[in-house]
A and B are shown apart, each in its own frame.
Chain A
C-alpha cells in the first residue's frame, strides 16, 4: 500500500512537469491549429538555457526562469514571424514539414555547439536532494518543478479567462472569423501565442534540467510525451493539459513498476489507443481533432 502511494505521488510529480512541457504545444495548437513538431527542440533549448545559466553565471534555473521566459518569448515571436507566418493558412502537410525541418536544424545546431554530451546540473546542496514526507522520499528538484508547473498552469488559465488579451486569444482559438469581425487582429494574437507557448516551453526545459539529462536529441522523446499529454487531456484545453500530464505521469510510473522493460513504449501505445478511442481527449472539445484554420 505504501509503495502504491509512493508510486502515485512520484507519478503525479513527474506528471506536473509533463503538463508544463506540453502546455506550449497545446496552446499553439488551440489558437493557430498548428502541431509544432519542433516543440521538443524548443524544450531542449530551454534545458540548455537552464544548464548554461547555472554553469556560467551560477544562477539557479528556478530563479533564472524569468530571464529564460523573456528570451524564449522573443524566440517564439521570431519563430512565428520568420517561419510559421508563411504556413499558417496552408495545408497541414506544409506545417508538418516546416516544423520537422526546423526540428532537424535545431537539433544539429545544438550538436554543433554543445556536442552530444549528456549534461545535467545539481541545484540542491548535498543532503537536501530529497525531502522526507511521512516516510516517503521525494526528490526536491521534482517537488520544486511540480510547484513551478502548477503556478504557471494556473497563471495561464487566469490570464486566458480574466484578462482582455487572454480572452482575445480564446476568441481566436474558438472562431477565427468571428474574432476578426470583433476587431481582433489575428496576426498579433498569433505572435503573442507563439511567444507565450515557446516561453512556457523554455521555462519547462529550465526546470526539467536538474532531473533530466540534456542532449541534442532529447526533444524527440519529449515531443512524443507532449503529444500524449495533449491528446489525453484534450486538444486546445489548458485544464485538460493538467489532467493529461498528471494522468500520463501516474500511468507511466505505475506501468514502469509492473513492467520496467515496456515503460518506454507505454506512452506511445497509450497515444495510439487514445487517438483511436477518444481523439478529442478527456476534456477536449469534440471534433477539435478535425479542426483546421480555414
Chain B
C-alpha cells in the first residue's frame, strides 16, 4: 500500500473534478423534474461507469475487449436469480455477480491473453456470444423462463426505488466509485505498468514488468465493475432477458464511449457517455418517425467520421489544439528573448 501511494502523482485540478462529479451525482438529480431527462441521466451514469470499467483493461492496458457484455449479463443474471429464487438482497447479489464475473474473466484470460490487437478483440467477441448461447441452451435443463422480471416492490434492501432520482444517485455513486478506482490505478505505478504494456509488450517485459500479472489485475477489476453495472441495469429496468443483457451492442457501446471521449484517460469514457447516449436519443427523436433504423444509420456514419477525424477522442482533439497553440506561443517568446 505504501508503494501504491508512494508513487502517487497528484495534480492540483483533481479535487475540482471530483467535486464536479460529486455534485453531478448527488445534487443534479434533485433539480431535474422531467422524468425523461432523469432517465437519460441514470443511463449516462450507468454507461459512463461501465465504460470506465472497460477502459481499465481496454484503454489503459490496451487489451481491446469486445466481450464485456458477458460480465454485464453475468452481473444482471446472478443478482436477479439470487433475488427471485433464493431471496438474497441485490446488494449482496451484486457482489456475488462481480465475483463470478472475476472467475469467468480469470478462466477466459488464459487463452485470450496470448493474443493481441484485433485477435484479442475477435476472441473476446466470441467469448461474449458463447456465454449467451450457453445460457440459452441451459434453459432446457433448469426451469427458467426466457425473460426474468423483478417485482416492483420499492425498498432500499431490495434495491428498487420509487423515484428515478434515487436511481440517479445510485448509479452516480457507482460511477464515482469506478472513477476513483480507475484514477487510483492510473496515477499509481500500476497505471504506468499498464501503459507500458499497451505501448509495447516486448519492451514492458524486457523492463521487468510482470506482464501477465498486471494484465490480469486490470482484467479482473474491469470485469468486477462491469458486472456491478449489469446488476444496476437489471434493478433499474426490472426485466432482463438473454438478448438484452448479453448483447454485442453493449460490448461495442462501452469501448465506443471510451474512444469518443479519449481512450485510456479517466475522463474520456465519462465524456463519451455524456455525448453518445443523448446523441442517439436526439437522433431517435428526430429521425425515428420517418423510417425505422434511420437514426442508427446516421449514428454509424457519425461514428466513422468521428473516429477518422478524432482518433484520440475529444480529449485528444482538445489536447492537440492546445499543444499547437502552446508551441506557437513558445516559438514567439523564444524569438523575442533568446536564451
A: which residues have CB within 8 A of B? 35, 83, 86-87, 90-98, 100-112, 115, 216, 220, 224, 227-228, 231, 261-262, 264-265, 267-269, 271-273, 275-276, 279, 289-290, 292
**Contact flags B289-315 to A (C-beta < 8 A → 1, else 0):** 001111111011111100110010000
How many residues of B sit at the interface, in one of the four size bands?
35 or more
18 A-B residue contacts at CB 8 Å?
A83-B308, A86-B308, A96-B121, A97-B307, A100-B256, A104-B296, A108-B293, A108-B294, A112-B293, A112-B294, A112-B297, A264-B137, A268-B129, A269-B126, A269-B130, A276-B114, A276-B115, A292-B117
Cα distance A111–B288 when bound, in Å? 13
Q: Is the CB of B307 within 8 A of A94?
A: yes
Is the CB–CB distance between A105 and B134 below 8 Å? Answer: no
Flag whether B169 is at the interface (Cβ < 8 A). no
Tell me how far the C-beta of B247 lies from the nearest C-beta in chain A, rounded to whole angstroms: 10
Beyond A93-B259, A227-B126, A261-B140, 17 additional pairs, beta carbon < 8 A: A83-B304, A92-B64, A96-B64, A101-B300, A101-B307, A105-B299, A105-B301, A107-B296, A112-B292, A112-B293, A112-B294, A224-B126, A262-B137, A265-B133, A269-B130, A275-B112, A290-B117
User: Smallest distance from the beta carbon of B97 to chain A beta carbons, Å?
Assistant: 22
Asked if A100 meets B129 with Cβ closer than 8 Å, knowing A94-B307, A108-B296, A276-B111, the reply is no
- B99 near A: Cβ within 8 Å? no
Given contacts A98-B304, A112-B297, contact A279 B111 (CB under 8 A): no
Contact between A111 and B111 (Cβ–Cβ < 8 Å)?
Answer: no
In contact, B304 and A105 (Cβ under 8 angstroms): yes
Chain B min CB distance to A206 (Å): 23
CB distance from B127 to the nearest CB of A (A): 6
Q: Which residues of B contact A86 (CB under 8 A)?
A: 308
CB contacts (< 8 Å) of B307 on chain A: these are 87, 94, 97-98, 101
CB proximity of A271 to chain B, nearest CB, Å: 4
Chain B residue numbers with a CB within 8 Å of A231 are: 119, 122
By a CB distance below 8 angstroms, the chain A residues around B297 are 105, 108-109, 112
Chain A contacts for B293, CB-based, 8 A: 107-112, 216
In this complex, the member of A265, A272, A290 whose beta carbon has the largest number of chain B beta carbons within 10 angstroms is A272
Residues in A with CB closer than 8 Å to B110 are 276
Alpha-carbon gap, A87 to B118, bound state (A): 15
Q: Chain B contact residues: over half helix, strand or loop, or mixed?
A: helix
Contact of B126 among A91, A96, A271 (CB under 8 A): A271
Q: Determine which residue in A112, A227, A269 has the highest number of CB atoms from chain B within 10 A of its CB, and name it.
A: A112
Q: Say whether, besides A90-B311, A94-B308, A275-B119, A268 and B126 are in contact (CB < 8 Å).
A: yes
Q: In the complex, what residues of B have CB within 8 A of residue A224's CB?
A: 125-126, 129
Contact of A104 with B299 in the complex, beta carbons under 8 Å: yes
Contacts of A279 in B (CB 8 A): 114-115, 119
Determine if B252 is an interface residue (Cβ-Cβ < 8 Å).
yes
Provide the bound-state CA to CA distance between A269 and B126, in Å. 7
Min distance, Cβ A33 to any Cβ of chain B, angstroms:
9
Expressed in whole angstroms, the Cα–Cα distance for A79 and B328 within the complex equals 38
A94 touches B311 (CB 8 A): yes
Contact between A275 and B292 (Cβ–Cβ < 8 Å)?
Answer: no
Q: A275 to B252, Cβ gap below 8 A? A: no
Among B112, B125, B130, B137, the residue within 8 A (CB) of A276 is B112
Min CB gap A114→B, angstroms: 10
The 4 closest A-B pairs by CB, nearest first: A105-B300, A276-B111, A101-B303, A108-B293
